[in-house]
Structure 1
Amino acid sequence: MPTVLGLTNDQKEKPKIGAAQAPKGYHDGSLVLSENKNQRLDTISKRNYAAAHEMETLLWRAICDDPEQAKEYIADDCVMVNPIFHPDHSSKPVNKESEPSISDLLENAGKFTGFRFHDGGPLVVEAGLMAVSTVYKLSLYKQSRKGGIREISASGSSSWRQTAGADWVLVAWHVAYAEDEDEEDDEE
Structure 2
Amino acid sequence: MPTVLGLTTDTSTKKPTSSAAKMGNDTWVSKNKPMANGERLNTISKRNHAAALEIETLLWRALCDKPEKAKEYMADDCIMLNPLFNHGSNEPVSKQTDPSIEDVLKGNEPYLGFKFMGDPLVVEVDLMAVSLVYKIALFKRTRKNRVAEIKATCMSSWRQTAGADWLLCAQHVAYADDEDSDEEEDDDEE
- TM-score interval, smaller chain: 0.7 to 0.9
The whole-number CA distance in structure 1 between the counterparts of 2:67 and 2:102 is 10
Task: Tell me how far 1:145 sits from its aligned partner.
Answer: 1.2
Greater relative contact order (Cα < 8 A, sep 6+): 1
Matches within 5 A, 1:119-158: 119-120=118-119, 122-158=120-156
Question: Which letter does structure 2 place at the counterpart of 1:174?
Answer: H
Aligned-pair identity in percent equals 61
Secondary structure at the counterpart of residue 167 of structure 2: strand
Give the Cα–Cα distance (whole angstroms) in 2 for the partners of residues 57 and 183 of structure 1: 23
Q: Deviations over 1:105-138 (max 9, x none)?
A: 1111232000000013x11000000000000100
Aligned to 1:17: none
Q: Secondary structure at the match of 2:47?
A: helix
Q: Following superposition of structure 1 onto structure 2, how do residues 94-133 of structure 1 map, counting pairs within 5 Å?
A: 94-120=93-119, 122-133=120-131
Q: 1:90 matched to which residue of 2?
A: 89
1:177 to 1:42, Cα distance in 2 relative to 1, 3 A: same
Map Cα deviations across residues 85-108 of structure 1 (whole Å, 9 max, x no partner).
113x22111110101111111111
Q: Deviations over 1:21-52 (max 9, x none)?
A: xxxxxxxxxxxxxxxxxx9x961100000000
Once the two structures are superposed, residues 1-24 of structure 1 have per-residue CA deviations (whole angstroms, 9 ceiling, x without a partner) of: xxxxxxxxxxxxxxxxxxxxxxxx
**Partner amino acid for 2:44?**
I
Work out whether residues 64 and 110 of structure 2, in 8 Å CA contact, stay in contact via their aligned partners in 1: yes
Q: Is the 8 A contact 2:151 2:181 kept in 1?
A: no
3-state DSSP of counterpart to 1:134: strand
Alignment of 1:37-76 (within 5 A): 43-76=43-76
- Which residue of the partner structure matches residue 162 of structure 1? 160
Question: Match for 1:97: what amino acid?
Answer: Q
- Give the Cα separation in 1 of the matches to 2:55 and 2:179: 27
Aligned residues: 144
TM-score (norm 1): 0.72
Deviation at 1:181, TM superposition (A): 4.5
Q: Give structure 1 stretches of 5+ with no counterpart.
A: 1-38
Structure 2 unaligned spans of 5+: 1-38, 183-190
Give the match's secondary structure for 1:119.
strand
Q: Over alpha carbons, which structure has the higher Rg?
A: 2
Runs of 4+ in 1 over 4 A off after TM superposition: 181-184
* 1:176 Cα deviation from its structure 2 partner: 1.0
**Which structure has more strand as a fraction of its residues?**
2
Q: CA–CA distance in 1 between the matches of 2:181 and 2:114?
A: 20
State the one-letter code of the partner of 2:116. F
